[in-house]
């Protein structure tokens, strides 16, 4: 009996210990994850402190007697609420939400007061609440429906929410509050205090600009495309095309993948960037729409790369026993196309990053790639080859030509962007790149690209 | 003078009239747009009325004396606020937000009370506000940082906002309010009333289920892919491949495009669907994750189609002067591949829509498409042809083979989904499809696909 009890106790202790161990492992894992998130972008840590700072500042209104008595308990709460809801990661996000909130509150407050006055005219005692309910019902339904319009959804969704909220509150609480206008003004002032605090901290304390993020996102994405092409040249067309190398483990195969789904991020950043005042190198009317165009063309490139990637990884087992001269010529042409296009893309990325017009090197690389693509047309397949023997390398070459074409569209769009956004021109006070544009294009440092498996 | 004045007056009147006309045009355009939005999905109009209804119901608390006095003005406002913020288009969205709000309020309220008590222990008079500020700063910073964890961002973003809000309010207002617990309980009850109203209306009044929307979105997307393939067979491989038909105007060329960017919508719907109780044909543990897998594979198909589409529209001007028998054989193989794969995809879409296992017809079509793809391997190119003469049709064929392969992966995933989700098997009380599965597969009605130009 005693032994059994002791064993039970031991088992209990062991299971406690093991579950404690598991918990510890989980905590360690979470800690690592959080550390990585902070390391990837230290501005995230700063942003967290900024939110804490804004809230601490606002809570001073509670502690300091004259401030508190001038606003009252309920209004002070609205200031806290405003800070929590309006404070966004980017300055543009905070501006967009803050302006939406302020304007919607003003408009809805005025309309709510009007509705309240109108309902108060009713002679019957039950008339006022009924009329108010009808007003609230109609306004809320109409405003909710307007949120299904894509343009409103994208830019004013938050404003519409606040509009419904404020209108309902003002219209309905007017039934109980005697000094409605005084109350409304007080509330407006607390919202202004909250929005002002958020804006000041967002814009003046280590600001994170959505526009700057967008400006950095594009070259990072284009660099990912360049990495894929350079990997392709190095690891696939490198002397033994169509051979038996293990492609599935090749790290470059996945580099372009994040670009495929980059649209929502780009749209959001461009939407926020539009609200931002001029900052750093970006004026108030910086052509953010053109960034979206460049982004869309980069995605187009990525789609073609997806086709190449799935083509070369599914067909790698098919035997290639073609005439070796034919294969060799396709290989050199493909290697040339991917290498030159990769270099051109890298140069375009660097040009955007440095806010200068793309150097002539990019155009030169692209024209070389085009020549390589054209050279394939003069090629004759070996007389005795069957179709699949030609198909595998020929399709790869054809898809690569597609990438070259997409890269040319991308180059035109970057050229347009650099013109409209008044990027530095060559020889216009930018001596480094004017002196050795080709070398700059050839050895441009790449951004480190993370590969998600 | 008089004549000039009259002319001026006329000009003024004309410009007034024309600007009025322009305003009228704009209003008419907006009206048309709104009408279209409502017509495309009448549930949007219903949803708008539901929001109006929820707000009208909540505002009763203001009008009925015993209710109002038991809650108080400030608390009643919280109920209105809860309704406006929690009410979402889908039932899953409302559930997700409602639960997030309730749980976050409970947790943050308890923590806030504890922080308040801890700070009140301080002996120095300035100690309490300083300690409270430190608590608010730390909690807000930590919670804000947790929002950068992707899993938390996707599912609990709203909960974290409410957590910060409630904690700050409770901790800070405790400095002023004597009966903090009573206040907290009252506020909790109003939030419960708001969330309860929203949930009741979302779930019981014409509910919109995110799960159902996801379940309908997938077959609609797969049908778009099928439309592309069938259009390809009809308009491109129809007797005159590589000829001079005007492809840019071909309506089928854009059908698959919406699928390219379907990921965010699918992710959101799946996220909301997870919160929904069992409804209609969907149990509580319906495998929504598999829907995401099927969606990803459909996107994979769309990427290959993008490659085909850009290949055939850029290369359509290259002269095709190949040996006509060679071209004819590629054409028939391609026509067969696109037609059969299109039919297979249409059958998969119908199967998902009808919640039954895909019929054997789908597998049969795919195997036929595969045979056509294999048949190309036996083909020999004409002896005297140069590479580009072969390249254009051969690349198209090769890309189509890629689509066939993607469709096979898709078919496997749909098969898995039908097994895990316990869809009806053939001959299992579903006589129609058991009797004539092939005919059902062949003539399945397509969803009308909108083509955005």
What CA–CA distance (Å, rounded) separates B379 from B382? Answer: 9
The whole-number pLDDT of residue A437 equals: 35
Nearest residue, CB atoms, B386 vs list A55, A380, A388: A380
In terms of residues, how long is chain B? Answer: 453
Confidence of residue B92 (pLDDT cuts 50, 70, 90): very high
Comparing A95-109, B20-34, B208-222, B422-436, the range with the smallest average pLDDT is B422-436
Burial label for B195, CB within 10 Å (0-12, 13-18, 19+), is buried
Q: What is the largest CA-CA distance in chain B?
A: 99
The whole-number pLDDT of residue A354 equals: 92
**Per the CB < 8 Å rule, is A62 touching B387?**
no
The whole-number pLDDT of residue B249 equals: 56
Nearest residue, CB atoms, A85 vs list B80, B161, B314: B161
Residues facing A282 on adjacent strands: A279
**Given CB atoms, is A255 within the 8 Å cutoff of chain B?**
no
What CA–CA distance (Å, rounded) separates A424 from A356? Answer: 4
What number is the average pLDDT over the span A159-169? Answer: 92
What tens digit of pLDDT does each residue of A125-152 get?
777 888 888 999 999 999 999 999 988 9
What CA–CA distance (Å, rounded) separates A150 from B33? Answer: 10
Question: Which residues fall within 8 angstroms of residue A325, CB to CB, at 6 or more apart?
Answer: A382
**Given CB atoms, is A314 within the 8 Å cutoff of chain B?**
yes
What tens digit of pLDDT does each residue of B119-150 get?
888 777 777 888 888 999 999 999 999 999 98
pLDDT(B242) > 50: no
A161 contact residues in B (CB cutoff 8 A)? 84-85
What tens digit of pLDDT does each residue of B295-341 get?
999 999 999 898 888 888 765 544 455 567 777 888 888 999 999 99
Nearest residue, CB atoms, B51 vs list A73, A81, A140: A140
**Per the CB < 8 Å rule, is B52 touching A144?**
yes
Question: A–B: how many Cβ contacts below 8 A?
Answer: 249
**Per the CB < 8 Å rule, is A81 touching B165?**
yes
For residues A286 and A73, which has the higher predicted lDDT (pLDDT)? A286
**Per the CB < 8 Å rule, is A387 touching B381?**
yes
**Given CB atoms, is B321 within the 8 Å cutoff of chain A?**
no
**Given CB atoms, is B140 within the 8 Å cutoff of chain A?**
yes
The whole-number pLDDT of residue B266 equals: 94
**Per the CB < 8 Å rule, is A394 touching B399?**
no
**Given CB atoms, is A51 within the 8 Å cutoff of chain B?**
yes
Closest CA to B219 of B452, B445, B453: B445
The whole-number pLDDT of residue B10 equals: 63
**Given CB atoms, is B386 within the 8 Å cutoff of chain A?**
yes
B138 contact residues in A (CB cutoff 8 A)? 52
**Given CB atoms, is A70 within the 8 Å cutoff of chain B?**
no
Phi-psi region of A426 (alpha: psi -120 to 50; beta: other; left: phi over 0): beta
A141 contact residues in B (CB cutoff 8 A)? 48-49, 51-52
**Given CB atoms, is B132 within the 8 Å cutoff of chain A?**
yes
Closest CA to A166 of A108, A114, A222: A108
What tens digit of pLDDT does each residue of A173-190 get?
776 666 778 777 887 888
Phi, psi at A2, each rounded to 5°: -65, -40
pLDDT(A349) > 70: yes
**Per the CB < 8 Å rule, is B136 touching A175?**
no
What number is the average pLDDT over the span A313-326? Answer: 59
Helix crossing, B43-63 with A150-173: angle to 10°? 20
A366-371: long-range contacts at Cβ-Cβ below 8 A with a sequence spacing of 24 or more? A366/A340, A366/A341, A366/A404, A366/A407, A366/A408, A366/A411, A368/A336, A368/A340, A369/A336, A369/A337, A369/A340, A369/A341, A369/A344, A369/A404, A369/A407, A370/A404, A370/A408
What CA–CA distance (Å, rounded) separates B301 from B376? Answer: 21
What tens digit of pLDDT does each residue of A392-413 get?
788 888 889 889 999 999 999 9
pLDDT(A243) > 50: no
Burial label for A257, CB within 10 Å (0-12, 13-18, 19+), is middle
Question: Which residue carries 């598999």 as its tokens?
Answer: B290
Confidence of residue A45 (pLDDT cuts 50, 70, 90): very high
The whole-number pLDDT of residue B238 equals: 72
Comparing A88-92, B247-251, B287-291, B410-414, the range with the smallest average pLDDT is B247-251
Q: Closest residue of B to A307, CA-based?
A: B304
The whole-number pLDDT of residue B145 equals: 94
The whole-number pLDDT of residue A11 equals: 61
Q: Closest residue of A to B296, CA-based?
A: A261
The shortest C-alpha distance from B435 to chain A (Å) reads: 37
**Per the CB < 8 Å rule, is B62 touching A172?**
yes
Q: Closest residue of A to B138, CA-based?
A: A52
DSSP letter for B121, please.
Answer: T
**Per the CB < 8 Å rule, is A314 touching B387?**
no
Q: What is the pTM of this model?
A: 0.83
């Amino acid at each position: 009996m005693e032994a059994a009890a002791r064993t039970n106790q031991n088992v209990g202790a062991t299971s406690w210990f093991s579950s404690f161990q598991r918990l510890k492992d989980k905590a360690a894992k979470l800690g690592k994850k959080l550390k990585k998130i902070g390391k990837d972008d230290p501005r995230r840590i700063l942003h967290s402190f900024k939110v804490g700072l804004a809230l601490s500042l606002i809570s001073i209104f509670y502690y300091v007697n004259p401030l508190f008595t001038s606003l009252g308990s309920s209004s002070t709460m609205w200031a806290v609420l405003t800070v929590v809801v309006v404070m966004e990661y980017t300055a543009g996000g905070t501006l967009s939400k803050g302006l939406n909130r302020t304007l919607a509150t003003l408009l809805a407050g005025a309309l709510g007061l009007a509705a309240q006055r109108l309902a108060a005219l009713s002679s019957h005692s039950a008339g006022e609440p009924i009329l108010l309910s009808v007003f609230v019902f109609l306004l809320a339904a109409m405003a909710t429906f307007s949120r299904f319009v894509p343009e409103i959804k994208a830019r004013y969704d938050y404003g519409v929410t606040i509009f419904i909220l404020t209108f309902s509150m003002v219209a309905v609480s007017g039934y109980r509050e005697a000094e409605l206008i005084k109350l409304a003004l007080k509330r407006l002032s607390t919202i202004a205090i909250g929005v002002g605090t958020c804006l000041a901290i967002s814009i003046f304390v280590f600001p994170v600009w959505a526009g700057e993020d967008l400006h950095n996102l594009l070259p990072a994405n284009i660099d990912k495309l360049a990495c894929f092409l350079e990997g392709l040249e190095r690891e696939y067309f490198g002397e033994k095309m169509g051979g038996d190398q293990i492609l599935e483990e090749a790290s470059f195969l996945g580099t372009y993948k994040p670009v495929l789904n980059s649209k929502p991020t780009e749209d959001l950043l461009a939407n926020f960037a539009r609200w931002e005042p001029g900052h750093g190198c970006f004026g108030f009317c910086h052509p953010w729409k053109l960034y979206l165009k460049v982004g869309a063309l980069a995605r187009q490139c990525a789609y073609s790369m997806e086709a190449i990637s799935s083509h070369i990884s599914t067909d790698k087992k098919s035997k290639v026993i073609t005439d070796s001269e034919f294969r060799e010529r396709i290989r050199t042409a493909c290697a040339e196309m991917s290498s030159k296009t990769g270099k051109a893309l890298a140069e375009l990325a660097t040009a955007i990053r440095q806010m200068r017009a793309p150097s002539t090197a990019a155009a030169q690389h692209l024209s070389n790639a085009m020549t390589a693509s054209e050279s394939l047309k003069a090629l004759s397949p070996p007389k005795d080859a069957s179709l699949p023997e030609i198909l595998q390398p020929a399709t790869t070459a054809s898809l690569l030509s597609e990438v070259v074409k997409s890269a040319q569209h991308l180059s035109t769009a970057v050229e347009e962007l650099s013109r409209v956004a008044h990027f530095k021109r060559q020889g216009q006070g930018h001596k480094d790149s004017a002196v050795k544009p080709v070398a700059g294009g050839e050895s441009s440092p790449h951004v480190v690209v993370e590969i998600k498996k």
